């Protein structure tokens, strides 16, 4: 028995070591494009376009200064485009959470005939291809005079991210004991008070997870921002194309701009990683 147990422990340890080695190797491979992008962004303009790429050079922040000050010589400052992306992403996230929390609560805690069918329908809308909605939204927004405004991006972003928000929160609410709500209602609390004072504090990790996913998806969205904006509400992903011209690509500026796009999301994921893990695994272990 001792030999078998020792052999089993060695086998488990070997699988753990191999698994972690594989994950670290996969992580390092995934970081190669990111490292190459950052290195290119700090190269002088004359070296950034060299093929094969130069790895020994004097680092400079001139590309970042050029991007943030003048947008690479274009009409819109890239700093303004980053601000537009932040406003649109935060607005869409706030709207999606404001609608998603009551919706998830109703689909979980309220018993009505169409509850299961409605829940499945909400999830199925996440598979709806956004490209199909571009032209109808463009026509509708044009008639309302909303083209090139923040609202024309915030509302569609919130709508397309709402299914995943509702289902993340719904899964978390299902793990909450129903007796907590009953006890509060016996004490005279209304539905709104139960949701605000009891359910909401317990959902903070799940709300953080849903909010981060919505921010990331809204921040990186390209199709709607390209089709529904001109210059006033143009976002950073659309602004990347201004560094590619008829005669070539300014690799120093475009990699600096791409780094500026990636950096806020990377910092956000690092800061909120514990809340995201807690939200995604809520109720997995009892």
More confident residue, 258 or 51: 258
Which two three-digit tokens encode residue 152?
Answer: 């024309």
Owning domain of residue 14: 2-63
Is-contact 257 236, C-beta < 8 A?
yes
Report, as an integer, the average pLDDT of 207-219: 91
**One domain for residues 206 and 108:** yes
On whether both 206 and 255 belong to a single domain, the answer is: yes
Residue 2 has pLDDT above 60, yes or no: no
Distance CA 59, CA 165 (A): 42
Q: Taking each helix axis from N to C terminus, what angle separates 273-280 and 204-220, rounded to the nearest 10 degrees? A: 110
Same domain, 15 and 77: no
Cβ 152 vs Cβ 141: under 8 Å: yes
Q: Is the peptide bond before 197 cis (omega within 30 degrees of 0)?
A: no
Task: Indicate if 105 and 137 belong to the same structural domain.
Answer: yes
Count, residues in the chain: 286
Helix (H, G, I), strand (E, B) or coil at 20: helix
3-state secondary structure of 88: helix
Return the pLDDT at 231: 83
pTM: 0.82
Tell me which of 85 and 193 has the higher pLDDT: 85
Q: Are residues 269 and 147 in the same domain?
A: yes
Same domain, 10 and 148: no
As a whole number, mean pLDDT of residues 114-137 equals 82
DSSP assigned state of 112: -
Provide the pLDDT for residue 124. 79
Pair (114, 167) in one structural domain: yes
**Can you name the residues that pair with 248 across neighbouring β-strands?**
245
* Total domain count, the chain: 2
Of residues 258 and 117, more confidence is placed in 258
Whether 208 maps to a domain, the answer reads yes
Q: Evaluate if residue 253 carries a pLDDT over 90.
A: no
Helix axes 273-280, 151-174, angle to 10 degrees: 60
If asked whether residues 242 and 276 sit together in one domain, one would say yes
Q: How far is CA 130 from CA 6, 135, 234, 238, in A?
A: 55, 10, 18, 17
- 115/147 same-domain check: yes
Residues 6+ apart with CB under 8 A from 119: 107, 170
Which of 15, 30, 63 is where one domain is finished?
63
């Amino acid at each position: 028995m001792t030999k078998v147990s020792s052999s089993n422990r060695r086998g488990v340890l070997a699988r753990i070591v191999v698994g972690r080695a594989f994950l670290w190797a996969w992580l390092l491979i995934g970081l190669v494009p990111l490292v190459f992008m950052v290195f290119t962004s700090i190269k002088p303009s004359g070296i950034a376009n060299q093929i094969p790429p130069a790895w020994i050079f004097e680092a400079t922040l001139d590309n970042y200064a050029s991007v943030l000050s003048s947008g690479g010589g274009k009409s819109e400052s890239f700093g303004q485009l980053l601000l537009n992306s932040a406003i649109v992403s935060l607005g869409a996230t706030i709207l999606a959470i404001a609608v998603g929390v009551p919706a998830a609560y109703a689909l979980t805690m309220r018993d009505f005939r169409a509850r299961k069918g409605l829940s499945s329908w909400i999830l199925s809308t996440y598979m709806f291809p956004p490209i199909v909605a571009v032209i109808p939204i463009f026509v509708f927004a044009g008639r309302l005079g909303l083209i090139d405004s923040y609202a024309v991006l915030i509302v569609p972003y919130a709508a397309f991210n709402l299914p995943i928000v509702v289902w993340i929160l719904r899964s978390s609410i299902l793990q909450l004991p129903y007796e907590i709500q009953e006890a509060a209602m016996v004490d005279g609390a209304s539905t709104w008070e139960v949701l605000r004072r009891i359910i909401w504090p317990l959902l903070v990790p799940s709300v953080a997870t849903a909010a981060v996913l919505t921010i990331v998806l809204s921040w990186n969205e390209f199709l709607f921002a390209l089709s529904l904006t001109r210059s006033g509400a143009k976002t950073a992903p659309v602004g990347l194309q201004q560094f590619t011209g008829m005669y070539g690509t300014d690799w120093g500026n475009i990699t600096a701009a791409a780094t500026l796009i990636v950096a806020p999301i990377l910092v956000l994921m690092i800061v909120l990683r514990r809340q995201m893990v807690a939200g995604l695994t809520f109720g997995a272990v009892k």
